[in-house]
A and B are shown apart, each in its own frame.
Chain A
């Protein structure tokens, strides 16, 4: 069953804590993306990666970090520097033969 998986579905963060959101894909896509969506808002790009061991900042990278050690995985860490982390986080990937971008089911991050 091919696709993009994200875990956990819900994540609770305490003040001053770093948390990591998982994103895995088995579509053999080179490019992966992280977006943040706030209620009633569009998608804002946090980071994206076009190839293993390389990634670029998106529009709202401050307070976030990523790694791309494997083609299949692109985890996002929300650091304590991100003062307003409550949002719906979406991971996406994009293949080479088509330009369409596919999304995982999302992780909802809440602050305790």
Chain B
């Protein structure tokens, strides 16, 4: 079992719809969870982080964490063609400098 699992996609949604991206992780000691967006040929950029169970909203983005189910998700409301990218889920076991484990990413395509 991979440490962090994501569906590779592509996930296709029409413009204006809600895109739902999912991630599961295996280490129950994980404490910090991140979502990065990566455009083709570019480096990842952080878009959301979440530490506590529940929802965290930032603009059009909502991160959801359920530690009991070892599940973290990212919702993108009012999806735009500029949201088309690969979304990487990343998990860190605790605070400090311990290594971060990345999923392989989900490719999102927003259709105009």
Contact = CB atoms under 8 A, between A and B. Distances in A.
Nearest to A98: B49
Contact of A43 (B42, B88, B95, B96): B88
Interface residues of A, number: 22
A99 to B, nearest CB: 5
Contacts of A31: 97
Interface in A16-39: 30-31, 33, 35
Contacts of A42: 4, 88, 102-105
- Chain B: number of interface residues, binned into ranges: 20 to 34
Given A90-B44, A104-B43, A99 B95 contact: yes
A45 interface: yes
B25 interface: no
Contacts of A104: 43
A43 B46 CA distance: 14
Interface of A: 30-31, 33, 35, 40-43, 45, 48, 50, 58, 90, 94, 99-106
